[in-house]
Amino acid sequence: MKRISNLLKFLMLSLFVITLVSSCETPREDKFIGIQLWSVRGDMNADPEETLRELGEMGYSFVEAAGYSDGMLYGMEPETFTALVEASGMEFISSHIGRALPEEDGWEETMQWWETAIDAHARAGAGYVVQPFMPSSAFESLEILQDWADYFNTIGEMAQARGLQFGFHNHAIEFTEVEGQIAYDFLLENTDPDLVFFQLDLYWIVQGGQDAIDYFNRYPGRFLMYHVKDHQEVGASGEMDFRPAFEHADLAGMRYHIVEVEDYNYEPIESVRISLEYLMEADYVDVDYR
């Protein structure tokens, strides 16, 4: 039975890829779609120049980095990294960086870390920096969540002073209840909309048992970016319905959507190609939301 199940899975994936390839034979208008470089992290670590060239050639318009450390991006000076991205025909729009809420005696060091990180991204010309995690300890009480909301507001103010915007990226854990309140709702209600935006991961909100459109209606304009993610390649599972989120982009406040792939049926570079083609061919995805 297992062999039959694997064979059926292979046939379904093959049909999915054949459909995409066939649809690409007709002319289409390219769309402004980004790629989260965590999706191809192994390739970026091995050969960033070649990886960025391939991503640009396949049709991605911008990148979101995931390789910041000690003032450098993928081991490069910020300006060098941006030049490499632009030479590949793309733009450097945003970056995932993060630091946990410090203990009281670690506040000065943490703020210095953020100052260095924000400076590096300002030099690189990126417009956005995004905190991509919160540890499980953040959800132990509303008091701790309030500390995180205040922390995000502080970082947002620091970023704004350098011409950047600060955002937060969710996973499923943020949709758990803390003292009778959903943590994600609490963060939305206790962060300053002028200082903190939310990068909504369309896969993880479903995994968290919530509906994106409900959030758009209750918190309009807060969701500047989407992460377009599936169990594996975007569209491959047949379980994710991305249409409603894109059809409500104005209500959400979405201006950028970014492909992220973390589990693969193919080599990562091929998986992100398949994901891009899926969105390029989706009739509900507009050319540009900026």
CB 271 within 8 A of CB 232: yes
- The region of weakest confidence among 31-35, 59-63, 102-106, 194-198 is 102-106
Q: Which amino acid type is present at position 28?
A: R
**Residues in contact with 7: Cβ distance below 8 Å, sequence separation at least 6, in sequence order:** none
Residue 212 clears pLDDT 50, i.e. is over it: yes
The pLDDT value recorded for residue 1 is 54
CB 269 within 8 A of CB 40: yes
The pLDDT value recorded for residue 169 is 98
Average pLDDT, the chain: 93
Phi-psi region of 59 (alpha: psi -120 to 50; beta: other; left: phi over 0): left
The pLDDT value recorded for residue 26 is 38
Residue 14 clears pLDDT 90, i.e. is over it: no
CA–CA separation, 166 and 157 (whole Å): 8
- The string of pLDDT tens digits covering residues 142-201 is 999 999 999 999 999 999 999 999 999 999 999 999 999 999 999 999 999 999 999 999
Q: What percent of the chain has pLDDT over 90?
A: 89
Q: Which amino acid type is present at position 46?
A: A
Residue 23 clears pLDDT 60, i.e. is over it: no
Q: What's phi and psi for 65, nearest 5 deg? A: -75, 160
CA–CA separation, 95 and 98 (whole Å): 10
Helix/strand/coil (H/E/C) assignment for every residue in 106-174: HHHHHHHHHHHHHHHHHHHCCCEEEECCCCHHHHCCHHHHHHHHHHHHHHHHHHHHCCCEEEEECCCHH
Secondary-structure percent of the chain, ordered helix, strand, coil, rounded to 5: 50, 15, 35
User: What average pLDDT score do residues 254-271 get?
Assistant: 97
Domain 29-281 = CATH 3.20.20.150: yes
The pLDDT value recorded for residue 3 is 52
CA–CA separation, 161 and 286 (whole Å): 32
Kindly report the number of other CB atoms within 10 A of residue 181's CB atom: 12
- The region of weakest confidence among 22-36, 41-55, 67-81, 259-273 is 22-36
- The string of pLDDT tens digits covering residues 84-107 is 999 999 999 999 999 999 998 899
DSSP β-ladder status, 68-69 and 72-73: antiparallel
CA–CA separation, 68 and 248 (whole Å): 32
Residue 12 clears pLDDT 80, i.e. is over it: no
The pLDDT value recorded for residue 104 is 84
